[in-house]
């Protein structure tokens, strides 16, 4: 019940101040995968999804494969921010009630770092109109041309978005 109330409060704040960008510090307590984590602060717990990046998909279903480089992405994110206090600049909630955010630690944009390391790509869905992808595009181009991380797969590379769609089609086929 408390979690529902917290989500409703955060949702209400973003609804009232839709142009307002939420910014504060939270301590990272759990890493789900290469682009999503849980954090605590100010007597609430939030789930944060990096805005503008999409990391390879981890399967939590027995017998269902994870996407190549998903484990490395989760490990990298764990090394960068787990149990650390990060700066979170939120841009609202996604359809799963996760806070979409730019996350920084030690002055470094962590989402951008995931792209630089070839462990995430630029998110292909809708982003806020005023969100500047210039640095993300440059980092992705450099990771691709250097064949870093997931880009080392060459023609075998499948985007996280396409991977999710393929896995969903497989589920519907059964």
Of 98, 113, 116, 121, the active-site residue reads: 98
Residue 148 among the catalytic residues: no
49 in active site: yes
Q: Which CATH class is domain 2-173?
A: mainly beta
**Residue 138 pLDDT exceeds 90:** yes
Residue 171 has pLDDT above 90, yes or no: no
Residue 98 has pLDDT above 90, yes or no: yes
Q: What is the pTM of this model?
A: 0.85
pLDDT computed for residue 157 by the predictor: 96
Distance, in Å, from the CA atom of 45 to the CA atom of 66, rounded to the nearest integer, reads: 27
Lowest mean pLDDT among 29-43, 48-62, 156-170: 156-170
Annotated catalytic residue: which of 57, 113, 121, 140?
A: 57
pLDDT given for residue 16 in this prediction: 38
Residues in the chain: 174
Confirm if 21 and 63 have CB atoms less than 8 A apart.
Answer: no
Residue 19 reports pLDDT greater than 60? no
């Amino acid at each position: 019940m408390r979690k529902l109330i917290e989500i409703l409060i955060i949702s209400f704040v973003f609804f009232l101040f839709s142009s307002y960008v939420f910014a504060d510090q939270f301590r990272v307590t759990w890493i789900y995968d290469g682009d999503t984590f849980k954090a605590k602060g100010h007597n609430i717990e939030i789930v944060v999804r990096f805005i503008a990046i999409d990391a390879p998909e981890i399967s939590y279903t027995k017998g269902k494969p994870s996407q190549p480089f998903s484990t490395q992405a989760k490990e990298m994110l764990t090394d960068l921010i787990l149990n650390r206090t990060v700066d979170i600049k939120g841009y609202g909630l996604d359809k799963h009630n996760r806070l979409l955010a730019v996350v920084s630690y030690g002055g470094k944009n962590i989402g951008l770092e995931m792209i630089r390391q070839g462990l995430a790509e630029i998110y292909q869905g809708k982003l806020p109109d005023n969100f500047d992808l210039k640095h993300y595009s440059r980092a992705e181009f450099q990771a691709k041309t250097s064949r870093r991380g997931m880009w080392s797969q060459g023609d075998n590379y499948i985007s996280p978005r396409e991977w999710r769609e393929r896995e969903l089609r497989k589920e519907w086929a059964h």
